[in-house]
Amino acid sequence: MQKGNMKAIMYAVMAAVFYALNVPLSKLLLKHVGATTMAALLYLGAGIGIGIMSIFHREHKQQEDHLTRKDLPFVIGMIVLDIIAPIFLMLGIRYGTSANASLLGNFEIVATTLIALFIFKETVSLRLWAAISLITISSILLSFEGAGSFRFSFGSLFVLLAALCWGFENNCTRNISSKSTYEIVILKGIFSGLGSLVIAIILHEPFPKILYIAEALLLGFVAYGLSIFLYVRAQNTLGAAKTSAYYAVAPFIGAFLSFLLLKEKLSFTYVIALIVMIMGTCLVVADTLIRNHTHEHQHTYTHTHDGYTHTHTITHSHAHNHYFHDDKHSHHHTLEELEKGHEII
């Protein structure tokens, strides 16, 4: 495996670990902070934190491509959806369990794929259809309260709406992921945070204490800022599907932290849903790994030019990257002159 790919995989896993902190720690802070205000502070923490990081990485930042006017529709879509999605998520966490909210986050994979299929007309494999079905079944099981009760959980509904919004947002961000990561995360953070803050003021949410503001901003920097930054970097190398596959571990880490920090109990329905969700996630990972492969061929040939005999080797690397949403083929050809003989014919 190439060094660049290993680095990108590490970024994707770290992004998942950082984001996993979001749900259980937000659940604790929501006792003192309004849902919309919390969403605003999380994104503002991300934008401010990554903005400070960019000051100390000027040289690296200058090497990246900047966003242009052509990217504006995707940037606007990304920001608007990032205003709506975290508000839904905070409401879902407030009215439901943290563990459920963490696992339901995997519905984002389903939403992202279906949006790409039906709106962007991209292909989906049979294996991925099976994964989508399993994750959907798991999401349905998690959306009902209690083993003996079939009341629909409004907390779960809000989390599913958040996942749907982030599914659309993923498709917007995917189109600009090759541009400056700093610019993407700073724009996401500052403008999405300010948008949510305006909504919180309109709703007359009480302003939290300074201590809780600081904690929410710090959580936002880690769980949103660093997570999004590393996710976009990984996505640019691995592609949307493979990054999502590695990122899919986040809900399971979040669910574990919920049991650890919040002492939430495991129900029989929850255990069944967890098993089904793991099966679906494994299929996503398998589909991605199987559909990403590289073939390398070498051909040696000799020819005569200007009275000299030249021996060349062509290395032909044929990399197939079949992502969730599309089939991309890249071909890399290198021509290296290995030996130059000075025989006069």
pLDDT tens readout for residues 30-70: 999 999 999 999 999 999 999 999 888 765 556 678 899 99
Residues 203 and 155 in one domain: yes
With H, G, I as helix, E, B as strand and everything else as coil, classify residue 309: strand
- When divided into structural domains, the chain yields a total of 2
Q: Yes or no: say if 284 and 123 are a contact pair by the CB < 8 Å rule.
A: no
Helix (H) or strand (E) holding 322: strand 308-322
pLDDT for position 327: 39
| pLDDT of residue 183 exceeding 60 | yes
Mean pLDDT for 219-225 is 96
Residues 124 and 214 in one domain: yes
Residues 261 and 195 in one domain: yes
Distance of alpha carbon 29 from alpha carbon 262, whole angstroms: 12
Of 267, 290, 313, the last residue of a domain is 290
From the CB of residue 312, how many other CB atoms can be counted at a distance below 10 Å? Answer: 15
pLDDT for position 307: 54
With H, G, I as helix, E, B as strand and everything else as coil, classify residue 333: strand
**In the chain, % of residues over pLDDT 90:** 34
Residues 299 and 230 in one domain: no
Q: What is the band of 319 on the pLDDT scale with cuts at 50, 70, 90? A: very low
Estimate the crossing angle of helix 240-247 against helix 268-290, to 10 degrees: 150
Of 274, 290, 306, the last residue of a domain is 290
pLDDT for position 210: 97
Residues 299 and 286 in one domain: no
Residues 210 and 299 in one domain: no
Residues 275 and 301 in one domain: no
pLDDT for position 317: 44
pLDDT for position 61: 57
Residues 256 and 327 in one domain: no
Distance of alpha carbon 250 from alpha carbon 104, whole angstroms: 11
pTM of the model: 0.74
Nearest to 21 by CA among 207, 151, 215, 297: 215
Residues 213 and 330 in one domain: no
Residues 251 and 325 in one domain: no
pLDDT for position 342: 43
Distances (CA, A) of 121 to 115, 116, 324, 326: 9, 6, 12, 9
Residues 7 and 91 in one domain: yes
**Span 235-294, pLDDT tens digits:** 777 766 667 667 777 877 888 888 888 887 767 877 888 888 889 878 877 776 666 544
- Residue-range definition of the domain harbouring residue 335: 295-341
pLDDT for position 178: 82
Residues 34 and 66 in one domain: yes
Of 275, 290, 305, the last residue of a domain is 290
